[in-house]
Amino acid sequence: MRLYLSEGSPQGLKVLAAAGASGARVRLERVPPDGHVVPFLTHPRVPALHLDSGTFLFSPNAICQYFFLLAGKEHTDLTSQWLEWEATELQPAVSTALYGHVVQGKKGGEVLGAIRKTLAYIDQSLTSKTTPYLTGEAESVADIVLWATLFPVLQDEFCLPDELQALRSWFRIMNLLEPCRNAVESVLTPKGAEQFKAYLQKQPVSCLHSEKPATNEPEEEELAQRSLSEEEIAAAADAWAKGAAALPERWQPQSPILPVEGRRNVLITSALPYVNNVPHLGNIIGCVLSADVFARYCRLRNWNTLYVCGTDEYGTATETKALEEGLTPQQICDKYNTVHTQIYQWFNISFDYFGRTTTPHQTTIAQEIFHRLLERDVLLTDTVEQLRCERCERFLADRFVEGICPFCNYEEARGDQCDKCGKLINAVELKKPQCKVCKGSPVVKTSQHLFLDLPQLEGRLEQWLEQSWATGDWTANARFITRSWLRDGLKPRCITRDLKWGTPVPLEGFRDKVFYVWFDAPIGYLSITANYTAQWERWWKNPQQVELYNFMAKDNVPFHSVVFPCTLLGAEDNYTLVNHLIATEYLNYEDGKFSKSRGIGVFGDMAQDTGIPADIWRFYLLFLRPEGQDSAFSWHDLLLKNNSELLNNLGNFVNRAGMFVCKFFDGRVPPMELGTDDKRLLAHVTLELRQFNQLLEKVRIRDALRCILSVSRYGNQYIQVNEPWKRIKGPAADRTRAGTVTGVAVNIACLISIMLQPFMPDVSATIQRQLCVPQACNILTDTFLCLLPPGHQIGTVSPLFQKLELDEIEALRQRFGGGQPEDSSLELKTHAAHPSPGARMSPMPGAGSGLARDPQRAKELAEAVTQQGNHVRQLKTSKAEKGQIDAAVATLLELKKQLALAEGKAAEVPAPKGKKKK
Amino acid sequence: FEASANPAPGEVAGLPILPRSSCLTLSADSESSPSPSPGGGAASPVLQINNGPSLTGLATIATHLVKQAKKEQLLGKTAEEKAVVQQWLEYRVTQIALPCTKEDTRVILKDLNLYLEDKVYLARNNFTLADILMYYGLHHIIIDLTVQEKEKYLNVSRWFNHIQHYPGIRQHLSSIIFMKNRLFTNA
């Protein structure tokens, strides 16, 4: 079972201490305080316990009780009474006290004031009994829970007044218990109560029971009609009337694009995809697609923008693949670089330059940085123990070793990082290491290596981070991950490897070695730019003029926020360091939320074969972009979003607006006489547009997409209410009205085509072609302008989207959802550099293998499951006997299990949220 | 026994598993059992057992009575089920007991609806004390729902309807009508 904890949640102490006291074996997962763990809860609740059966426990007290139950300690009337009291009385009081202390800065006695009554009650109960603990001679779950709740306010027994003698001595004993001491060490930092600040600030002061409403669900419901002031309405109408004349001139950067004095110069990178792997949907949304939307948006804002990316090509995985295919590593890279290029082209990724890391520039720049580091004495030499597989006759790269994690005992930890606890690992520290190629046991050999002296650079790093965080937009997970790295203290990091396929180390004694990819790969950003322009230094050694955005999935964060900045800081050459680090969470596939081993997914090249246009893929991936929390790709949801949001909402609106112009006004935008309602609409659309801009400036891509859908919803509503198709047949006044409504609507459609451009470039271009929108209009400002003036001639209007049919989607789901590539080596080749969302989505060997698939039987079973499901529902609606229903449900579950087996999945029991047992 | 200052009198008194054993007698004198609990004591029910210590708290008392009646299965059979039952009892006394805002209620119903999507009862396939207390706690909320809302929270409705028809559960509470045919396709 997994226990999800976050820093600064006072409840974490309780569950850890209970786990310790009861000897429960749990796997710890650290998540941000607002981490969404329990799938069915709207508000994040951490700690939470995810049982192997799939059940979630989200109440800390229930989790504690569960641990004690596992140890055979049943709850008694007394323990339940204490726990209930703690939940209903003590916790609210302590929260108030802590809030007063940490957030409002109250001190000493004032703090205790809020809990004086509850403390006295505990003291009285202890005094009236003769036992040292609350419920008897030994500590129970009640003692642990109460202690943990009190600890954040009390810390030690000395702040308790003398008259509470019994409470004092109980608290002292509890503080000394080993599980309590361990819990404190593991959860709390030396900051004391301060660390609860972030958590507490989220609690409303008046009602400390309920939590802040989640912000992740802005959708559903009707459009929240914000009340508009008269000024806002008038301003919107004025702005509108100015028309295209008010547009600034479009910025056309020179080729090559270079920073320009006096302009906003934006440099965008997306994490370099590892060359050996075909990128999958998770990869695409996590890096290149997100960065692409932002780059396109920047260009629409007239910012001077350069977007570079490329394939990361060095490393053992390439060497091995080359051996397998009988090619040279360079040939392998050439081959896969083409695959990547084609996929990104298909997805319409607008790189200004897509390069690669195996170029002479890479060697020059990496070696130069290395020399500077060497001169400045921030490199160390050390002898390293390294795993060598004698059977394969090679030192094993981290990625080629697997074993048991020394920190959390996860059995499939990789050689460089544990997927479970996220800690970085030295391959030699793995318990029971295994060569991933031949399954042999590698032996430890020694070799001389160079290290980047991170401890020496730590001070400079922190100084820079402080400044970057104060001025830049770093996603919460990026800050969180970085902070936890710094908290654990930095250690020297090895930057060389015993390989051949890499950038050679230009130093005597190390000539047979190459740079480790994590030193080398980020330098790729620089060398790729150098391949684009000889004046690359104007981007990369120009922090005064350039704003740097790095896009990546969260597992890449430490290398971009700690290791690479330290490299550049250490080299002291006025490098441009990241200003905005934008990291996504993971995208999962279908219901494989926590079941890594089921991992099946859609890969970039396969997306093309589905017949679904690239823009639909872009839309859906961006719609569920894992911002702030993991999200999951689902075929049925894709169908739903396509048919509801694109077809019925956006497509329908744009099409109707255009059709009215064609049918009723001969393809010319009619004259408009704006009334109050029309102006009000303009103001609402303007508000959405501003919101859109604000969100995108903060790179909240997913939320910004929803603004576009809101604009089109306003448009639909407007047409629906005003019924131009009826008015056009009415008297003159009605016909004028029909003209106004049509004219405003088609201008909204025009605005949508511009706002949509970063997200769906093809659809945007199609709309603009249909409406004959001039290229010069492709600029976004904070005002909604009448860009298609009366008399503007539009072209031929046709539907933008196609309905996706259920059987079509079902067929795709079967195709990608069942057992797919036999090529289990794919996973093996995922590079350490970019395991990213992909590690979760790429096919994993072993999961489904060994389970014979049987399509015919699966079909029969699927039918049986449907039938039995209906039967159960019938029984329930007809209020049948409970026993009867239970029996029917049991049959249903059994059928589902068999179905799963027949489909080649490992039997997964009922809960769809269930996590698969290893 | 006596339940004093009980916010929802039926909740404890109405337990279908009421022990009729002689070890408990009713004492009508509410003054004789002052609440030992500070602060919110007035809101918590207290059970005074003859010659024994008193018990405070809705969930605690209900759990005690279930044990007295030898209906332990209502508290869950496995450790996991027991913890789940305790969790929902706590949810009942912490989340639902308070005066809820409209937003709180919406979140409670939404979460519960999602939770119940694949479950017959709160503890999956077994009827437990959690269902009973949650039923009592939610009655005043469900009774105010519109037909459309009932459809929106379909799983909650299904569960609630199921529980209220469970023999002996409803006691004095009114029976709430649920439509079987759907009226709102978008609900």
pLDDT digits (tens, 9 = 90+) for A730-779: 999 999 999 999 999 999 999 999 999 999 999 999 999 999 999 999 99
| Chain A from 98 to 117: CB within 8 A of any B CB | 117
**CB of A159 less than 8 A from some CB of B:** no
Q: Which helix (H) or strand (E) holds B63?
A: helix B58-68
Cβ atoms of A784 and A686 within 8 Å: the answer is yes
Residue A864 pLDDT > 50: yes
Give the C-alpha separation, A26 to A18, whole Å: 11
Give the C-alpha separation, A287 to A604, whole Å: 13
Residue numbers in A near B93 (CB within 8 A): 84, 87-88
Of A89, A882, A912, nearest to B127 by CB-CB distance is: A882
Residue A383 pLDDT > 50: yes
CA A698 from chain centre, in angstroms, equals 15
Mean pLDDT of B80-103: 87
Q: Which helix (H) or strand (E) holds A461?
A: helix A454-471
CB contact under 8 A, A88 and B111: no
**CB of A127 less than 8 A from some CB of B:** no
Q: Which numeric CATH code is attached to B72-164? A: 1.20.1050.10
Residue A888 pLDDT > 80: no
CB contact under 8 A, A62 and B57: no
Segments making up each domain of chain B, as ranges: 11-68, 72-164
Residue numbers in B near A53 (CB within 8 A): 80
Of A58, A84, A876, nearest to B158 by CB-CB distance is: A876
Residue A692 pLDDT > 80: yes
Residue A334 pLDDT > 70: yes
How many other CB atoms are found less than 10 A from the CB of residue B187? 14
CA distance A221 to chain B (A): 11
CA nearest to B157 within chain A: A877
To the nearest 5 percent, what fractions of chain A are helix, strand and coil? Answer: 50, 10, 40
Give the residues across from A88 on adjacent strands.
none
Cβ atoms of A148 and A17 within 8 Å: the answer is yes
Residue A840 pLDDT > 50: no
Residue numbers in B near A59 (CB within 8 A): 86-87, 90-91
**CB of B58 less than 8 A from some CB of A:** yes
| Per-residue model confidence as pLDDT tens digits over A414-451 | 887 787 777 778 888 888 898 877 888 898 888 899 99
Give the C-alpha separation, A371 to A380, whole Å: 13
Residue numbers in B near A58 (CB within 8 A): 87
Of B37, B80, B90, nearest to A89 by CB-CB distance is: B37
Residue numbers in B near A207 (CB within 8 A): 98
How does residue B88 score in pLDDT terms, banded at 50, 70 and 90? very high
Give the C-alpha separation, A684 to A785, whole Å: 13
**CB of A70 less than 8 A from some CB of B:** yes
Residue numbers in B near A57 (CB within 8 A): 83-84, 87
Residue A207 pLDDT > 50: no
| Chain B from 118 to 177: CB within 8 A of any A CB | 118, 120, 124-125, 127, 158, 162, 165-166
| Per-residue model confidence as pLDDT tens digits over A447-475 | 899 999 999 999 999 999 999 998 999 99
Residue A276 pLDDT > 50: yes
pLDDT at residue A918, as a whole number: 37
Residue B164 pLDDT > 60: yes
Mean pLDDT of B155-164: 93
Placement of tokens 């198709």 in the chain: A725
Cβ atoms of A416 and A400 within 8 Å: the answer is no
pTM for the full model?
0.58
Q: Comparing A143-147, A199-203, A549-553, A585-589, which segment has the lowest mean pLDDT?
A: A199-203
Mean pLDDT of B101-114: 89
Of B55, B57, B83, nearest to A65 by CB-CB distance is: B83
Closest CA to A564 of A576, A553, A554: A576
Of A816 and A336, which is predicted with more confidence? A336
Cβ atoms of A863 and A612 within 8 Å: the answer is no
Mean pLDDT of B181-185: 59
Helix axes A178-187 and A12-22, enclosed angle (nearest 10): 140
Residue numbers in B near A75 (CB within 8 A): 82, 86
Residue A137 pLDDT > 60: yes
Residue numbers in A near B38 (CB within 8 A): 89, 117-118, 120-121
| Per-residue model confidence as pLDDT tens digits over A620-638 | 999 999 987 788 888 888 9
pLDDT at residue A107, as a whole number: 62
E strand segments, A101-252 = none
CB contact under 8 A, A59 and B91: yes
How does residue A62 score in pLDDT terms, banded at 50, 70 and 90? very high
pLDDT at residue A757, as a whole number: 97
Residue A826 pLDDT > 50: no
Residue numbers in B near A876 (CB within 8 A): 120, 158, 162
**CB of B42 less than 8 A from some CB of A:** no
pLDDT at residue A827, as a whole number: 34
On whether the B11-68 domain is CATH 1.10.3470, my answer is no
How many other CB atoms are found less than 10 A from the CB of residue A217? 10
Closest CA to A593 of A624, A548, A562, A639: A624
CA distance B94 to chain A (A): 6
CB contact under 8 A, A885 and B111: no
CA distance B28 to chain A (A): 23
Give the C-alpha separation, A660 to A653, whole Å: 11
pLDDT at residue A194, as a whole number: 57
CB contact under 8 A, A80 and B79: no
Closest CA to A706 of A755, A763, A770: A755
Give the three-class secondary structure for A575.
Answer: coil
Q: Which of A252-261, A429-438, A491-500 has the highest mean pLDDT?
A: A252-261
CB contact under 8 A, A910 and B162: no
Cα dist. A614→A277, A348, A624, A749 in Å? 20, 8, 16, 21
How many other CB atoms are found less than 10 A from the CB of residue A832? 23
* Domains B11-68 and B72-164 alike in fold: no
What is the rounded average pLDDT for all residues in chain A? 83
Residue B158 pLDDT > 60: yes
Of B119 and A833, which is predicted with more confidence? B119
Of A69, A88, A911, nearest to B93 by CB-CB distance is: A88
Residue numbers in B near A890 (CB within 8 A): 125
pLDDT at residue A843, as a whole number: 32
Q: Token digits for A916?
A: 């698969």
Q: Comparing A39-48, A51-60, A339-348, A909-918, which segment has the lowest mean pLDDT?
A: A909-918
Cα dist. A551→A55, A150, A243, A602, A836 in Å? 34, 42, 36, 21, 12
**CB of B94 less than 8 A from some CB of A:** yes
Of A413 and A657, which is predicted with more confidence? A657
| Chain A from 487 to 516: CB within 8 A of any B CB | none
Residue numbers in B near A882 (CB within 8 A): 127, 166
pLDDT at residue A844, as a whole number: 33
Among B87, B96, B108, the residue to mutate for chain A (most A Cβ within 10 A): B87
pLDDT at residue A315, as a whole number: 85
Of B59, B110, B180, nearest to A84 by CB-CB distance is: B59
Residue numbers in B near A70 (CB within 8 A): 79
Give the C-alpha separation, A207 to B64, whole Å: 30
| Per-residue model confidence as pLDDT tens digits over A175-199 | 888 888 888 877 765 455 555 665 5
Of B59, B80, B166, nearest to A53 by CB-CB distance is: B80
Give the C-alpha separation, A106 to A205, whole Å: 14
Mean pLDDT of A33-57: 86
Q: Which of A787-801, B20-34, B133-147 has the highest mean pLDDT?
A: A787-801
Q: Which residues contact A54 (CB under 8 A, 6 or more apart)?
A: A909, A910, A911, A913, A914, A915
> Considering all CA atoms of chain A, what is the largest pairwise distance in Å, rounded to the nearest integer?
95
How does residue B144 score in pLDDT terms, banded at 50, 70 and 90? confident
Of A653 and A895, which is predicted with more confidence? A653
CB contact under 8 A, B118 and A910: yes
Residue numbers in B near A40 (CB within 8 A): 111, 114-115, 117
Cβ atoms of A742 and A664 within 8 Å: the answer is yes
Give the C-alpha separation, A869 to A863, whole Å: 10
**CB of B104 less than 8 A from some CB of A:** yes
CA nearest to A88 within chain B: B94
| Exposure string over A760-781, b if 16+ CB within 10 A, otherwise e | bbbbbbbbbebbebeeebbbbb
The amino acid that residue A358 corresponds to is T
Among B93, B94, B156, the residue to mutate for chain A (most A Cβ within 10 A): B94
Among B60, B116, B180, the residue to mutate for chain A (most A Cβ within 10 A): B60
Residue numbers in A near B55 (CB within 8 A): 77, 81
**CB of B185 less than 8 A from some CB of A:** no
Residue numbers in B near A209 (CB within 8 A): 94-95, 98
